[in-house]
Amino acid sequence: MNAFSSTLLKKIKSKNATIAIAGMGYVGMPLAGALAKAGFKKIIGIDIDQKRVDQLNSGISLIPALPKSSLNKMIKNGFYATTDFLNLQVADALIICVPTPLTESKEPDLTYIQSTLTLSIPHLKPGVLISLESTTYPGTTEELVAPQLVSGGFSIGVDIFLGYAPEREDPGNEVFQTQDIPRVLAGMTPICLRLMSALYGSFISTIHPVSSPRAAELTKLLENIQRSVNIGLMNEMKIIADKMGLNIFEVIDAASTKPFGFTPYYPGPGIGGHCIPIDPFYLTWKAKMYGVHTRFIELAGEINESMVDYVVSKSILKLNEQGIAISKSKILILGLSYKKDVGDLRESPNIKILNSLINLGAKVNYSDPFFKTIPSMRKFKLHLSSMSLTPGNLKKHDLVLILTDHSSFDLKLICKHSVSIIDTRGSIPLSQKVTYA
């Protein structure tokens, strides 16, 4: 170890290190909370969204994983958010948690990582640890991040330390918090790995070092591709069961009684969130460089994406049974986010379904306690407001589409009404006379 690494290691062990987090979203905010809970007081949140920065500095928590009480305690202890990368001059570690979306042609878009590095490097002091948490393809840390740091005048493992520790956040999960979820991590050099292990081991219950950043990057992709493939299988099984007049949720519950060899996965209107709809494309893109065509992974993606059209087709058929044309129909959608009790619209298939129904001429309303209005998105600009779930409002519609796990909705109220229901999640009891998509 040299003087830089020894000094940093001491600061981490004493919880006296200043930790900067770039990207205060669904990953960065819980991360800040976990660091604070472990005893780190010098935490800086960096984000390019001035509104978000102002809210955080005012004590307004943006996600349930970071309660307002915890945020206010953090602020009293020294936490602050900023849009100014000049604040990195005092940072001992920088954790990068910025988005990694897809381009229109479904190729990796790493511009947020690149721009974060471009803005950060001029202000980094020698001896700082850089940890990338953003989901990405194998090779990003070594092929993109490291060269950019070297071009900035640093030497990896000497006066700057670099590693990869893929995030494992699960928005809305009340059982596993950031500090409770084991973390895979890697370093560019042995000393980088030692510092990564010291930092993450100081606030995460279990760490699992691997041989290289590429191994850690592939680990993250594997976790989510496994879910994508299995959900794709269940979505295909749902279509088969529907043709046979069977309820796939009943079948899955029955299969789940087997104590070995079966893990339940569930179908739905599609897949959403930042990871599962995107991660497979990061690997398929990279695999092509090695001459590998990922047919199995891509097929699962195609099946999952097709579920939007499937739900729309089911809606048209259900309306036709009532003698109602889609262009003359009134439809109420329950749930905009991709999973229950989460105010998260990232890649939500529900928005795509809503937009498709509007384009077909339907009068569409929605009810979601997390969204009074639909925020403007890159692909969709929908000027609608949430409708309260009342008997009167239900009677105004020809069809109710339940598009999310719906603990936030009054199912008894829905089931008592004669309005047609399509429940894509299968949460309404079988005794109710409803149609399962």
Q: What pLDDT, on a 0 to 100 scale, did the predictor assign at position 432?
A: 59
Distance (Å, whole) CA 63 – CA 68? 9
pLDDT at position 272:
81
- Residue 115 makes CB contacts below 8 A (sequence gap 6+) with none
Taking CA atoms, 40 is separated from 85, 178, 380, 406, in Å, by: 20, 15, 40, 37
CA 58 vs CA 72, 79, 192, 215, 336: distances in Å: 8, 11, 36, 40, 28
Report all structural domains of the chain as residue ranges with CATH numbers, in order of start.
3-211 (3.40.50.720), 227-423 (3.40.50.720)
pLDDT of residue 436: 58
Instruction: Indicate if the alpha-carbon torsion angle 395, 401, 407, 408 is positive or negative.
Output: negative
pLDDT mean by block of 10 residues, the chain; 437 residues: 96 98 95 97 97 96 88 96 98 97 90 98 98 97 98 97 95 83 98 98 97 98 95 95 92 96 93 81 93 94 94 95 95 90 84 94 94 79 88 93 86 84 79 58
Report pLDDT for 419: 87
Contact residues for 63 (Cβ-Cβ < 8 A; gap 6+): 26, 29, 30, 171, 343
Whether the model clears a pTM of 0.75, i.e. scores above it, the answer is yes
Q: Which pLDDT score, from 0 to 100, does residue 128 have?
A: 98
Please provide residue 208's backbone torsions phi and psi, each rounded to the nearest 5 degrees: -130, 90
C-alpha angle with apex 325: 324 to 329, nearest 5 degrees?
Answer: 75
Residues annotated as catalytic (active site), given as ranges: 275
Return the pLDDT at 430. Answer: 56
Instruction: Quote the longest CA-to-CA distance of the chain.
Output: 78
Parallel/antiparallel/unpaired status of strands 363-367 and 330-334? parallel
Are 55 and 24 contacting, i.e. CB atoms less than 8 angstroms apart? no
What would the two tokens of residue 166 be?
A: 């893929």
Which of 171, 78, 71, 86 is closest to 121 using CA atoms? 86
| HSE value, Cβ hemisphere, 13 Å, CA-based, for 203 | 22
Q: What are phi and psi of 209, to 5 degrees?
A: -70, 145
Which pLDDT score is estimated for 434? Answer: 57
Question: Hey, which residues does 19 pair with through a beta bridge?
Answer: 43, 93
**Alpha-carbon span 267 to 270, nearest angstrom:** 8
Rounded to an integer, what is the distance from CA 54 to the centroid of its chain? 23
Per the structure block, which two tokens stand in for 305? 């994406």
